[in-house]
Amino acid sequence: MSPEQITDKLLKKDQTAAVSRRDFLKLAGASGVASATSGFAFASNAAGSKSDDGTPEQIHITWGNDPTTEVTISWCSPGRSANPRVKVKGAGEEARTVHAELRVYTDGLNNEIVYSYHARFQGLKPGRAHTYEVTAENDRNRNRPFSSSFQTAPSDLEPFRWTSFGDLATPNPAWTLSYPQARFAVMAVERFQPLFHLLNGDLSYADLNPLSQPEVWSDFANNVQISAANRPWMPCPANHEIEFYNGPQGIDSYLSRFLLPDNGTSFLGHWYSFRVGSVLFISLDGNDVAYQDSGPAVSGPDPLTPAAATGNAPIARGRSFYIRGYSEGEQTRWLEMTLRKASEEKGIDWIVVQTHYGALSSTKTGNGSDRGAREEWLPLFDKYGVDLILCGHDHDYERSYPVRGANHNAGTDATTGAVVDTLQPRPTIPANPAATRFDTTHGAVHLILGGGGTSAPLDVYGEDTVNGKVQAKVFTKRNETVDGTVPGTFTRNPADALEDAIWSAQRDTSTGYGIGVFDYEPCREDGKTTITFRYYHAVGADKTPTGDYELFETIVFEKERGR
């Protein structure tokens, strides 16, 4: 049974009915998912010495610069691998082997050495299935190496699907903010058989388990392997990727593990773009512009003491660093250059941005909106016609109306009530507020898709109202206070302003968990192109993890071809 037939069978059961975990596993076994899962279990359960163990694990795929012809297959191993390599074979082609490049980093808190490997493949055939095997000379599974398959992107204008969520964590409840729903979330990606998946930040939450960071990353990546070994998972860094003593921005672990498309700047891996069909995807690092304090926290009162071998000093209560502005504008300049080139490219109809921090979020108990993204990036999104912005950070689902431009001085100080300019986004509200079709030439639609699998309370909406209007929290200034006990550490302040969330069109108040499914149609008979978006949520997962994802809403974004 092909991936398309699996998806059709699942979706035709009943668009509003749940698809059970048993149904998923039964169908997934026919698509090769079972082989990837069993490969993960075999590698994880092998016995032997860690220092000389080169057995591949945590296997995942990312796109290269051109998704039609390039992929990177990446993994880690318990010890250093000898001659790590991947053999790839496309249908009707000769197999070829690529030797992987090694990246090594030493965790700044527990001094553990982490080995990661990346095998880049170029010159693949577009739109074609490929099988591959990963092994090494000291792979304890050499007689039966890990194997799976992937598909390159089509070179022509053909329909394709992608999925998205953020804030995943691990299925191991022993780790802080991890929850078994993370396993079902990864399985949900396989249920829908996308060409690729966008992971909108907050991957493993290793920073909340500081003395076990590499182990948490390992649990995360072995769980993700169930899907990411079969199709590209394209991430963006977020606040929980920042770790003490792991590089100037704290994301050396993330950068070591993911080899992503080249951005041509001095910050490789922090942001990037890629194109499939007439859709340009842009991934941004919101840590660079957000006003929110993004560094990891020490809950205290005792300091966090790194292993003596690291030579790093203990860290007192508070935040280790505040990295807003770390690129000194390089990311925003790159973004404008990328958008300008896209505006001059006749073949690009859609622009989809992935980032972590929401510029439009009306949650009461989560983080809320950030003016940093509004002032740095939203004017560029307006100028160059960005269509969709996919975020995480708040652990819920929210959809905006199309927005363009800003209302000034529409907010109030959360403490004094004084007027504050929050740069309130200006929505285009249809005559029928329940409309399900939107022309994105009228403005960009923002989606909060923070319902991966992390354990957190369900965000609450609608309780802070003024004259019957929902209020949104907004960070409008740096929210850190210097901790006077240790230089360079900070404590976090709450959001400083409020505004009416006039831009909010839909919110899921029933559960914090879900997945976005996007189906791109390049050209209809009427000359329009569409992206059909469906949001599925896992009702009850906040109390009991479940594989039952039900359809919550369907929205069609449409426009004339040629932008």
Query: What are residue 110's phi and psi, to 5 degrees?
Result: -110, 0
Per residue, the 3-state secondary structure of 533-557, as one string, reads EEEEECCCCCCCCCCCEEEEEEEEE
Report the CATH number that the domain containing residue 329 is assigned in CATH.
Answer: 3.60.21.10
Mean pLDDT of 149-170: 97
**Which bin fits 45, alpha (ψ -120 to 50), beta or left (φ > 0)?**
alpha
* pLDDT 10s digits, 112-121: 999 999 999 9
Read off the pLDDT of residues 221-276 as tens digits, 9 standing for 90 and up. 999 999 999 999 999 999 999 999 999 999 999 999 999 999 999 999 999 999 99
Does residue 42 fall inside a structural domain? no
Rounded distance between C-alpha atoms, residue 85 and residue 69, angstroms? 19
Angle between helices 21-28 and 33-45 (to 10 degrees): 100
pLDDT per residue as tens digits for the range 479-520:
777 666 555 566 677 899 999 999 999 999 999 999 999 999
User: Does residue 238 sit within a domain?
Assistant: yes
Partner residues linked to 122 by β-bridges: none
Mean pLDDT taken over the chain: 88
Q: Are 229 and 59 in contact (CB under 8 A)?
A: yes
Whether residue 287 has pLDDT greater than 50: yes
Q: Count structural domains, the chain.
A: 1
Residue 448 to residue 496: CA distance in whole angstroms: 21
Query: What is the reported pLDDT for 485?
Result: 59
Domain span at residue 253?
161-560
Specify if 85 maps to a domain.
no
Q: Is residue 529 a part of any domain in this protein?
A: yes
pLDDT confidence of residue 488: 58
The DSSP result for 478-509, as a single string, is: --EEE-TTSTT-EEE----EEEE-TTEEEE--
Is 12 a member of any domain? no
For 361-414, what is each residue's pLDDT tens digit?
A: 999 889 999 999 999 999 999 999 999 999 999 999 999 999 999 999 999 999
Answer yes or no: is 441 within a domain: yes
Is the pLDDT at 42 greater than 60, yes or no? no
How many percent of the chain have pLDDT more than 90?
Answer: 77
> How would residue 28 be classed by pLDDT, with cut points 50, 70 and 90?
very low
Q: Is residue 61 part of a domain?
A: no
- pTM greater than the 0.75 cutoff: yes
* Confidence category of residue 43, pLDDT binned at 50, 70, 90: very low
Examine residue 110 and state whether it is found in any structural domain, yes or no: no
